[in-house]
Structures are given as structure tokens and as C-alpha cells.
Amino acid sequence: MNIFSNQEHPFFPMNDYEQQNMFALQQSKVQEVMQVLRSQHNNLYSQLMRAQMGRSIIDYVFNLVVSYTLSQTNKNLTAEQIYEQFKRQFPWLNILLRQFNIPQNLIDRVLVNVIQITLDAIGGGGGQPGQGWIGWEDLGGVLNSAPTVASWQPNRLDTFVEGTDHSLYHKWWDGRSWSGWENLGGVLTSSPAAVSWGPNRIDVFARGQNQDLIHKWWDGSSWSGWESLGGVLTSAPAVSSQRPNQLDVFVRGTNQKLYKKSWNGSRWEEWQDLGGTLTSAPAAISWGPNRIDVFARGQNQELVHKWWDGSNWSGWESLGGTLTSGPAVSSQRLNHLDVFVRGSNNELYLKTWNGSNWSGWQNLGGNIDSEPAAVSWGPNRTDVFARGQNQSLIHLYKGQ
């Protein structure tokens, strides 16, 4: 679809290659992908529109990128490789972008995502994220641990990491842009864990200097100091919340067993021994009142699972796989679980419970240097974070 003519927009020089691909490609496929972008990925439009770029011009650029991607004969190229070729083929695009003062890293990220969505539509992508997954993007920082993430409202993300000085650092997405890093102090000896049990409420946990469980929270206006909740931890903690003002914290003890400590709304309860033999930190999620699912790496490096049904704890079940990190888990809706792990090739893998069955493992690619972290802020949205090979925070997401 030729949205603009050369006469209307002289800064869009159309060379022979572009004209050939814009018109010779199967237009139905181009329009199919464009419809997916418009209906399911409006966030890509909004990021550029906030830089005062008109939607019709964005449509033109996206159409050009989609057409170029569909013209590639080698569908095993990654989105990043195709984008590098695209930039060499259309160097004039930078002239256009300079007119809108759009940061280069923003346009790079958006257009790589457009290419990835196109590859997903035709089953390509060179082993990179597929089936609607977008990324990876680099969010910077120098991490001394795996990250954690919480969300207290739609389109809000709060990530936390241990910095090189062992303090807790915080970076958040407010629905429009990422903040810088905020230093929240403390002395951490593990990755943090975070959860939100209500609007504008976040609780963060970690292992402290004395191997104890430490806790810090945001009450909507300020951060508390750190408090020690005792215990002797041999892993990072995990935390979930079944309902407002309820917290369940899980750790690995000195005997490799799983332990739980709960805040019941008025006081912290004593530690409860839940057994098992863990070889990683646990991960925990609650998808409804009186339901908790806990995951970890077992003795055979496989994924193991235990759950609370409101009355009793199950035994441990093995879900297979070969994990090189602890797992992460998120839930988009009732009775739905997405479990993420790092595999033996340092790539991200996903296993999903759809309410009746567990899926096989799906390879989401990447090159991660830590256990992942995951959260869902809506029924069709999941965000995954990890430490990348440069020790920076990297991000992958699926949905609107």
C-alpha cells in the first residue's frame, strides 16, 4: 500500500528496489500483518506518536518494514539481522527520523519489534521469540543479580535488582517511558523478590548480610526502611499474595527444603517446613484466593511443582526439563500458569498450564545470564526480564 506519493512527501525517495517490493509482494499478506500491528500492538504506534510523529507516517514506515521483511528469501535471519540489512537498504529513513527528533534506540527497538511480528506471522525468525513474543530490549544497568518484577496496575511495571554495591535498585515503566535507576539502599546477598497486593503497594524481599530474610515496602507515598524477618536462607526468596494485605514468602533453608513465612494481615507467622529437595531458589504465584503454586529446580535439574488448594499442600511433581537456573512464574488469569526457565543453552524456555494440561517446552531464545523474572498485568500481557550477557537488564513481552 503506497500511502504517500513522492510528490506529496519529497523526503520519501522511492528507489527501484522499494517500488518493486512494495507492489510485487503479495498485498494480502502485507495488509494482514499491518492489521495485526494496528489491532494488537498499538503500543508501538504510541511510542512514536509521543515523539510527535503522525500515525499516517508511522503506518508508512511500518508498511515499508513489513514489506521488506516479507521480501527476504532467508527466513532464518533474526529480526536484528534483517533490521541491519533494512537500514543499509534505506539510509534515507534516518533523514526522516531526524525531523521528529526520535531517539535512535527508540526507533531501533520499535522497528525490530515490527520485524519480529512479521516473522511470527510467516513462521520465521531464526529461533528468536515467536508466537507473539516481542524483544529482547536492553534496559541498561549493571546487575549483580537476577531481577524481579511486580505490577500494581495495568501498564505499570516495577523492576528491582541488586547493584554492584549490593544495594537494591529500582526501575519502572509508567505506561509511557522507563525511569532511570533509583537506589533503595540495603545490603543484599541474593536476588530480590517483589509482589504487589493492591494499587500503589509493593513489597520487596531479599536475603540480607546475616543470611536472614529482609523486607522493604512502598505504601503509595514513601519507601519503608529494611526490616529483618529472621531465618537462615540458602537462596533468594520468592513471594506471592493471595489477597490484599496477605503475603506468603518462600525460601530454601539450610537443609535444601522449602520454607514458608506468611503475613496474615496483622502479624508474621512462624516458618513452615514444606519439604522437598531444592537446588535453586523457589518461584511462587497466586492466581486466586486460597491458591498458591510454587516451583523450583529439583535434584535432577528438572522443574518441580507444589501447590496449595486452600486446604492442603500437594506433594511435589516433576515437570521435566533441564534447568540451569531457578524458574519464574506468572499468571494471566484464573487457572493459568506460565513458567519460565533458563535452559542448558542459556536460552529462555516457557511451559504453560492452560487449566487442564501442561504444554511442552517453547524456546523463546535470547542469551540470558540469570534466572528470569515474570509478571502479567492483564489477561493478554506477560513481561519477562533477565540479566543479559552484558550484565544489563533485558526485557521481553507478549501482548498489548
Lowest mean pLDDT among 130-139, 232-241, 315-324: 130-139
Give me the amino acid identity at 76. N
| 155 and 251 in a common domain | yes
Grid cell, residue 95, equals: 533523514
Q: Please report the pLDDT score of residue 3 as a whole number.
A: 35
Q: Please report the pLDDT score of residue 138 as a whole number.
A: 87
Percent of the chain residues topping a pLDDT of 70: 89
Asked if residue 132 lies in contact with residue 380, where contact means CB atoms within 8 angstroms, the answer is no
Q: What integer is the mean pLDDT of 72-92?
A: 83
Confidence label for 302 from pLDDT (cuts 50, 70 and 90): very high
| Strand, helix or coil for residue 148 | strand
At residue 384's C-alpha, the angle toward residues 379 and 388, to 5°, is 170
Q: What integer is the mean pLDDT of 276-303?
A: 96
| 294 and 385 in a common domain | yes
Distances (CA, A) of 168 to 64, 123, 268, 313: 43, 40, 23, 33
- Among 109, 128, 147, the domain boundary falls at 128
Q: What integer is the mean pLDDT of 35-40?
A: 80
Residue 4 is assigned to a structural domain of this protein: no
- The CATH number for 207's domain is 2.120.10.70
Q: Please report the pLDDT score of residue 96 as a whole number.
A: 79
Confidence label for 43 from pLDDT (cuts 50, 70 and 90): confident
| 380 and 235 in a common domain | yes
Q: What integer is the mean pLDDT of 180-190?
A: 97
Q: How many domains does the chain have?
A: 2
| 171 and 47 in a common domain | no
CA 90 – CA 13 distance, rounded (Å): 9
| Backbone φ and ψ of 178, nearest 5° | -85, 140
| 252 and 108 in a common domain | no
Q: What integer is the mean pLDDT of 156-174?
A: 97
**Is residue 125 pLDDT above 90, yes or no?**
no
| 380 and 250 in a common domain | yes
For the CA atoms of 26, 131, 153, 112, what is the dihedral angle to 10 degrees?
Answer: -60
Better-scored residue on pLDDT, 214 or 175: 214
**Is residue 166 pLDDT above 50, yes or no?**
yes
**Is residue 97 pLDDT above 90, yes or no?**
no
Confidence label for 171 from pLDDT (cuts 50, 70 and 90): very high
Confidence label for 1 from pLDDT (cuts 50, 70 and 90): very low
CB atoms within 10 A of CB 52: 10
| 351 and 281 in a common domain | yes
Q: Reading across the β-sheet that carries 238-240, which strands appear in turn?
A: 238-240, 247-252, 258-263, 272-275
Q: What is the DSSP letter of 143?
A: B
CA 287 – CA 84 distance, rounded (Å): 41
- Among 103, 128, 153, the domain boundary falls at 128
* Burial of 255 per CB tally in 10 Å (0-12, 13-18, 19+): exposed
| Strand, helix or coil for residue 207 | strand
CB atoms within 10 A of CB 93: 18
Range of the domain at 24: 16-128
| DSSP H or E stretch at residue 68 | helix 55-70
**Is residue 162 pLDDT above 90, yes or no?**
yes
Highest mean pLDDT among 3-7, 205-209, 288-292: 205-209
**Is residue 341 pLDDT above 50, yes or no?**
yes
Asked if residue 327 lies in contact with residue 371, where contact means CB atoms within 8 angstroms, the answer is yes
* Burial of 260 per CB tally in 10 Å (0-12, 13-18, 19+): buried
Q: What is the mean pLDDT of the chain?
A: 88
| 158 and 122 in a common domain | no
Q: Please report the pLDDT score of residue 22 as a whole number.
A: 46
- Residue-by-residue DSSP string for 234-253: SS--EEE-SSTT-EEEEEE-
CB atoms within 10 A of CB 25: 16
Grid cell, residue 325, equals: 537456573
195-254 confidence digits (pLDDT tens) = 999 999 999 999 999 999 999 999 999 999 999 999 999 999 999 999 999 999 999 999
| 146 and 64 in a common domain | no
Q: Please report the pLDDT score of residue 119 as a whole number.
A: 82
| Backbone φ and ψ of 105, nearest 5° | -65, -30
